[in-house]
């Protein structure tokens, strides 16, 4: 899938994560340095957008409030990861 260029990728802090998507890596928040989780689907976004930087949710939402930047829609791979976490696969989104 083609992902338009993104400046910032907002991720959960490792310290506050209640679930870790299998295969996740970690990175440091570009603003505060906290360790954040980077799921495989998020890595896919990064591959299409090499200049993007990771920020934690706290810093990311504070930045959005300040500059009014837009949030990219979830990718199908991100939706699948969320559904796996919930344990309730959505038939419609899994169908290809
Ligand atoms: Zn941060």
Is the pLDDT higher at 9 or at 90?
9
For residues 95 and 60, the model is more confident at 60
Beta strands in 12-79 (DSSP E): 25-28, 35-38, 53-56
C-alpha to C-alpha distance for 73 and 67, rounded to whole angstroms: 18
pLDDT recorded at residue 62: 92
CA 64 to centroid of ligand 1, rounded, Å = 13
Distance, CA 4 to ligand 1 centroid (Å)? 23
Q: Reply yes or no on whether the pLDDT at 31 is more than 90.
A: yes
| Distances in whole angstroms, Cα of residue 33 to Cα of each of 20, 36, 39, 55, 88 | 19, 9, 18, 8, 34
State pLDDT tens for residues 49-63.
778 899 999 999 898
Distance 48 CA to ligand 1 centre (A): 22
pLDDT grade for 96, boundaries at 50, 70 and 90? very low
For residue 52, the CA-to-ligand 1 centroid distance in Å is 15
Q: State the pLDDT at residue 5.
A: 64
If you measure from the C-alpha of residue 31 to the centroid of ligand 1, how many angstroms do you get, rounded to a whole number? 5
Distance CA(27)–CA(8), nearest Å, equals 13
- Ligand 1 centroid from CA 74, angstroms: 21
pLDDT, greater one: 95 or 32:
32
The answer, yes or no, to whether residue 36 has pLDDT greater than 60, is: yes
């Amino acid at each position: 899938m083609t992902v338009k260029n993104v400046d910032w990728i907002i991720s959960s802090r490792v310290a506050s994560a209640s679930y870790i998507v299998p295969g996740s890596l970690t990175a440091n928040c570009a603003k505060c340095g906290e360790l954040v989780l980077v799921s495989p689907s998020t890595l896919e976004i990064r591959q299409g957008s090499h200049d993007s930087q990771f920020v934690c949710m706290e810093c990311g939402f504070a930045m959005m409030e300040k500059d009014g930047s837009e949030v990219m829609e979830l990718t199908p791979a991100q939706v699948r990861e969320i559904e796996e976490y919930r344990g309730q696969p959505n038939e419609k989104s899994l169908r290809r």
